[in-house]
């Protein structure tokens, strides 16, 4: 069980005839179908109606949502389809439910073909606009809120939308070059490329390349990906976290939750049609062999026998699938060395690769080194996700990958190193993972008792408990969350809060994802049915805190809120389409750890507020927040170059602040708790909390 973010000159000249012809052809083609999709689609529809927590049928209401959702997925910025296209496609608004239940997905492929035509036509216009002179002093703007932008009624309106878009991108490219030549922006090494850029890139050239690659990627989209988009558009009509995964996507999901794969241990990226080694993963087959390096270009891939396959301009996911394979087997790579340009042939033996960069990490911080005059030892544990290798557990593998096991090992290491005054668990940007791991990690900090309550489709309430006596750590505990802490993270934070076991610090509240997804293979249930039809990640339950509250939409509120730009962004569950509603159930009986009370929280908050008010860095963050809120509701961006330059500089500053809280933006060798005003204030709060626990009377002074 998982918890678990364009030229149409001919078209406009005779639009009536073409629309009529297209409609006739479109309707006729719906009688056909992709035969391999029929059974898969029928099974998905049956599973959604049977197992989704809402128990809502696939009916005309869902049909209308499916059309809107699929079109929004394909053309979110409304840059390709026009209102006449939407009017024509809307004729199927009440019939798509009947088609998908019958296993007919031809509508998806026909719409995709239309989409490719629109891309080709608008790309012709885009390339002309890139080479057209623009006046960057004209007072005009570009609309930015796609949800409030109507579909273009005419080709002229659509082309003007593209003119503004190209102008906006050209200004940004010009400003990039201006920063580069002025020395304000030093060249940065791009991961996987042998050198940093040494000269500005021509803005026109950059945009031509971008749109050629966009068109190429759309043309190379496989049928499995098209089906995944369509069926996921269907499941998203029920809630934002249910989705259909093709066999390839299912494999990626399993890798993410288990933190291991079979391959050579090389992270790849695509650039100008080349497949480039971005990073060598340690430990792994490539790192042990030592010959393949970051920056090398892979030209061809072959298995142990047979011909080498040229992979130039091949989609990256195809290349990855060719290189991955069963451990113990061999793969051959034709490589152009990034440093010398020499072309060589390597043969590597695939092995199990552990993705250690995404696992739990911990360290003890001596606080007087960062906070002069405040000695102490704070153990920091960063949990990027709640991962679990389900297959390894099922097979009885010793030391199978598990978040709870790794957290326990870190806590025991803290004890072996002389103990700590407090522990900080960092859950910022942790999007969730395995429910079982959230329960087991919670059990490391509390004694026996309920962890989370779950409501199933039939309304029955079940409690998931920690049944193990005792704790691994029973001292002061601080949990850091932000608006991107979701699902399993919220279960853990809620347990700590409801048991009065520790304090929650961070954004006003967490993400607000209070639903449980189960990943089920798409199958008829027959033992002999071995066709790989992918999997369905389906919301089958809603979970509740032990106090009876759902975390859905409301999340878990922090005891102490620190200024943060992320806190003001529309990133929570309540901002997602078709999110389920908040509700309550009766609380579960549980004992309190009595390590937090209102007076203590009030005292900690007062002390933190005084420090935050006096800290210049937090004053800057608050000014950034004010500017962000002033601009948050704007509907357009100026296309005057001087105005855009000033706004872009401010946006960059705000993004830099946001990235500090996002572990994905840090290098693999970066400290898990970097020195900055936010993290230092968390350490201050932790020391205050440890002091108050030792001397509760101090909270009243």
CB 386 within 8 A of CB 438: yes
Of 426 and 4, the structure prediction assigns the larger pLDDT to 426
Q: Count Cα atoms within 13 angstroms, Cβ side, for 142.
A: 23
**What is the pLDDT at residue 266?**
87
Least reliable range by pLDDT among 39-48, 413-422, 658-667 = 658-667
Q: Which CATH class is domain 356-700?
A: alpha beta
CATH superfamily for domain 260-354: PDZ domain (2.30.42.10)
Instruction: Give me the catalytic one of 487, 558, 564, 608.
Output: 487
**What is the pLDDT at residue 91?**
96
If DSSP codes are grouped into helix, strand and coil, which group holds residue 371? coil
Least reliable range by pLDDT among 133-142, 307-316, 436-445, 487-496 = 307-316
CB 322 within 8 A of CB 309: yes
DSSP 439-468: HHHHHTTS-SEEEEEEE-TTS-EEEEEE-S
The DSSP symbol for 433 reads: B
What is the token pair recorded at 587?
Answer: 């609380």
**What is the pLDDT at residue 684?**
98
Task: Quote the mean pLDDT of the chain.
Answer: 87
Q: Inform me whether the pLDDT recorded for 188 exceeds 50.
A: no
Q: What is the mean pLDDT of residues 164-171?
A: 94
Domain ranges (residues) in the chain: 9-238, 260-354, 356-700
Of 130 and 272, the structure prediction assigns the larger pLDDT to 130
Q: Inform me whether the pLDDT recorded for 656 exceeds 70.
A: no
Q: Inform me whether the pLDDT recorded for 241 exceeds 60.
A: yes
**What is the pLDDT at residue 219?**
92
**What is the pLDDT at residue 180?**
55
Q: Inform me whether the pLDDT recorded for 427 exceeds 60.
A: yes
Dist. CA 169–CA 187, nearest whole Å? 20
Task: Tell whether the torsion through CA atoms of 170, 155, 115 and 87 is positive or negative.
Answer: positive
Active site residue 701: no
Instruction: Give me the catalytic one of 167, 401, 513, 537.
Output: 513
Q: pLDDT (tens digit, 9 = 90+) per residue, 55-100? A: 999 999 999 999 999 999 999 999 999 999 999 999 999 999 999 9
- 117, 122, 125, 131 alpha-carbon torsion, rounded to 10°: -120
Q: What is the mean pLDDT of residues 443-461?
A: 93
506 sits in which H/E element: strand 503-506
CB 427 within 8 A of CB 479: yes
Name the percent of the chain lying above pLDDT 70.
Answer: 87
Q: What is the mean pLDDT of residues 379-392?
A: 94
Q: pLDDT (tens digit, 9 = 90+) per residue, 611-654? A: 999 999 999 999 989 888 888 878 888 899 988 888 777 666 65
Q: pLDDT (tens digit, 9 = 90+) per residue, 327-361? A: 889 999 999 988 777 889 999 999 887 777 789 99
**What is the pLDDT at residue 178?**
74
Q: What is the mean pLDDT of residues 580-607?
A: 95
Q: Inform me whether the pLDDT recorded for 677 exceeds 80.
A: yes
Q: Inform me whether the pLDDT recorded for 584 exceeds 90.
A: yes
**What is the pLDDT at residue 195?**
42
Instruction: Give me the catalytic one of 37, 97, 426, 498.
Output: 498
**What is the pLDDT at residue 204?**
93
Name the percent of the chain lying above pLDDT 90.
Answer: 63
Q: pLDDT (tens digit, 9 = 90+) per residue, 278-322? A: 888 888 889 899 999 988 999 999 998 889 998 887 888 888 889
In 3D, which of 573, 257, 592, 588 has the Cα closest to residue 455? 588
**What is the pLDDT at residue 238?**
97
Q: pLDDT (tens digit, 9 = 90+) per residue, 15-69? A: 222 232 333 345 455 545 666 789 999 999 999 999 999 999 999 999 999 999 9
Q: Residue 150 — pLDDT band, cuts 50, 70, 90? A: very high
Sequence-distant (≥ 6) Cβ neighbours of residue 65 within 8 angstroms: 237, 578
**What is the pLDDT at residue 699?**
55
Sequence-distant (≥ 6) Cβ neighbours of residue 266 within 8 angstroms: 277, 279, 280, 281, 284, 286, 292, 323
Task: Tell whether the torsion through CA atoms of 155, 160, 166 and 168 is positive or negative.
Answer: negative
Q: pLDDT (tens digit, 9 = 90+) per residue, 459-470? A: 899 999 999 999
Active site residue 498: yes
């Amino acid at each position: 069980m998982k918890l678990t973010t364009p030229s149409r000159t001919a078209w406009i000249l005779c639009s009536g005839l073409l629309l009529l012809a297209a409609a006739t052809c479109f309707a006729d083609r719906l009688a056909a179908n992709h035969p391999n999709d029929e059974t898969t689609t029928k099974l998905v529809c049956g599973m959604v109606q049977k197992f989704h927590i809402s128990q809502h049928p696939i009916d005309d209401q869902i049909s209308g949502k499916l059309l809107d959702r699929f079109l929004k997925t394909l053309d979110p910025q409304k840059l390709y389809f026009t209102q006449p296209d939407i009017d024509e496609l809307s004729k199927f608004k009440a019939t798509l439910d009947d088609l998908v239940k019958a296993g007919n997905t031809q509508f998806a492929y026909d719409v995709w073909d239309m989409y490719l035509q629109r891309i080709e036509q608008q790309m012709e216009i885009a390339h002309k606009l890139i080479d057209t002179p623009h006046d960057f002093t004209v007072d005009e703007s570009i609309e930015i809120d796609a949800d409030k932008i109507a579909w273009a009624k005419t080709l002229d309106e659509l082309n003007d939308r593209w003119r503004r878009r190209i102008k906006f991108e050209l200004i940004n490219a010009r400003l990039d070059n201006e920063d580069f030549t002025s020395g304000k922006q030093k060249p940065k090494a791009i991961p996987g490329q042998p050198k940093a850029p040494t000269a500005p890139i021509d803005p026109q050239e950059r945009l031509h390349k971008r749109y050629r690659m966009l068109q190429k990627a759309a043309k190379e989209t496989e049928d499995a990906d098209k089906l995944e988009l369509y069926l996921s558009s269907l499941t998203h009509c029920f809630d934002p976290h249910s989705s259909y995964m093709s066999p390839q996507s299912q494999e990626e999901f399993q890798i993410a939750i288990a933190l291991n794969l079979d391959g050579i241990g090389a992270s790849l990226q695509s650039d100008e049609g080349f497949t480039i080694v971005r990073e060598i993963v340690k430990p792994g087959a490539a790192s042990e062999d030592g010959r393949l390096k970051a920056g090398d270009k892979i030209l061809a891939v072959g298995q142990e026998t047979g011909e080498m396959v040229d992979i130039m301009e091949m989609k990256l996911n195809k290349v990855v699938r060719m290189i991955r394979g069963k451990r113990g087997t061999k793969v051959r790579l034709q490589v152009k060395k990034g440093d010398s340009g020499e072309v060589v042939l390597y043969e590597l033996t695939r092995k199990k690769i552990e993705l250690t960069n995404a696992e739990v990490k911990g360290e003890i911080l001596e606080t007087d080194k960062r906070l002069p005059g405040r000695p102490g030892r704070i153990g920091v544990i960063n949990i990027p996700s709640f991962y679990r290798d389900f297959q390894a557990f099922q097979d009885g593998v010793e030391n199978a990958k598990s978040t709870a096991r790794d957290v326990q090992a870190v806590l025991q290491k803290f004890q072996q190193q002389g103990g700590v005054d407090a522990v900080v668990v960092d859950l910022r940007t942790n999007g969730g993972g395995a429910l079982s791991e959230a329960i087991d990690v919670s059990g490391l900090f509390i004694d026996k008792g309920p962890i989370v309550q779950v409501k199933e489709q039939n309304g029955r309430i079940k409690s998931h408990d920690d049944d193990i006596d005792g704790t691994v750590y029973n001292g002061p505990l601080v949990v850091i969350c932000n608006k991107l802490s979701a699902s399993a993270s919220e279960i853990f934070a809620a347990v700590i809060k409801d048991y009065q076991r520790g304090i929650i610090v961070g954004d006003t509240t967490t993400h607000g994802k209070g639903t449980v997804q189960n990943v089920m293979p798409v199958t008829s249930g027959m033992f002999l049915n071995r066709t790989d039809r992918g999997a369905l990640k389906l919301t089958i339950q809603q979970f509740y805190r032990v106090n009876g509250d759902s975390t859905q939409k409301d999340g878990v509120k922090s005891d102490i809120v620190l200024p943060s730009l992320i806190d003001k962004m529309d990133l929570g569950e309540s901002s997602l389409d078709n999110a389920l509603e908040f509700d309550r159930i009766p609380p579960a009986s549980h004992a309190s750890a009595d390590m937090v009370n209102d007076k203590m929280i009030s005292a900690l908050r007062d002390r933190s507020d005084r420090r935050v008010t006096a800290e210049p860095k937090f004053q800057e963050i608050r000014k950034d927040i004010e500017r962000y809120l002033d601009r948050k509701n704007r509907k357009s961006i100026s296309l005057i170059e001087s105005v855009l330059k000033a706004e872009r500089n401010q946006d960059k500053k705000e993004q830099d602040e946001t990235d500090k809280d996002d572990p994905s933006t840090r290098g693999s060798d970066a400290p898990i708790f970097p020195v900055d005003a936010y993290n230092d204030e968390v350490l201050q709060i932790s020391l205050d909390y440890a002091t108050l626990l030792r001397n509760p009377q101090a909270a009243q002074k």
